[in-house]
Amino acid sequence: MGGLAIIIMGVTGSGKSTIGTLLAKALDCNFIDADDFHSAENKEKMHNGTPLTDEDRIPWLEAVRDAMIDYIIKDKIVVVACSALQPKYREILLLADPEYALDSYDSNKKTKPISFSSNGGRQHAKSLFSRKVVFMCLQASAQLIASRLDIREKQGAHFMSPNLLQSQIDLLRIDDTEDIFLLDATLSPELITKNIQRKLSEFQLLS
């Protein structure tokens, strides 16, 4: 199958790092936390409750993408925890797949590839897709995530202010044309991890 980057996405507090760490252990592969790629300036903004701008995010996403490329071209699997809230942000990460990067510039492509869809069916893709960069989105109620963030803040376990939750919820957008697996983040981390593994196997994304 070759290289594969599995991106665990969602708003702050949805459990990206927890699930990403467990999944990487289950798959015996490396784990990347996109938070580690933020500049000191970005971290200071988020700590103070100031939402990042696209100007702040783009260099960060490009750095995460470049780290993913290193694994994909070496035919390795990597799990990545990254918010990736908007289609335009995910597009940057998708360019880690060299085949996607080439196809995205091929305006003469006459047929669409067969895509895997988040509801478990198969369909002709409405847009280009990648089998080397896949997205798993953790979803839960704002109330549940807020309670998690309160605990995390008391523990001093993260630099991001809980006050940014609503801005992230407002920013999150998933288009119907995208192939994103939606995951119930209210389940136990162990069950979520098994659900991801089942999806990866179902669509033959693991070698």
> In the predicted model, is pLDDT for residue 15 greater than 50?
yes
Q: For position 191, which CATH number holds?
A: 3.40.50.300
Is 14 a member of any domain?
yes
Inter-helix orientation angle 16-27/189-202, to 10° = 60
- For the chain, what percent of residues have pLDDT higher than 90? 66
DSSP code, position 123? E
Please report the beta strands in 12-129, taking only residues with DSSP state E, as ranges in sequence order. 30-33, 77-81, 114-116, 122-124
pLDDT in tens, 149-197: 888 767 765 556 678 789 999 999 999 889 899 999 999 999 999 999 9
Is 8 a member of any domain?
yes
* Domain ranges, residue 94: 4-202
Tally of structural domains, the chain: 1
- The pTM (predicted TM-score) of the whole model is 0.85
Is 207 a member of any domain?
no
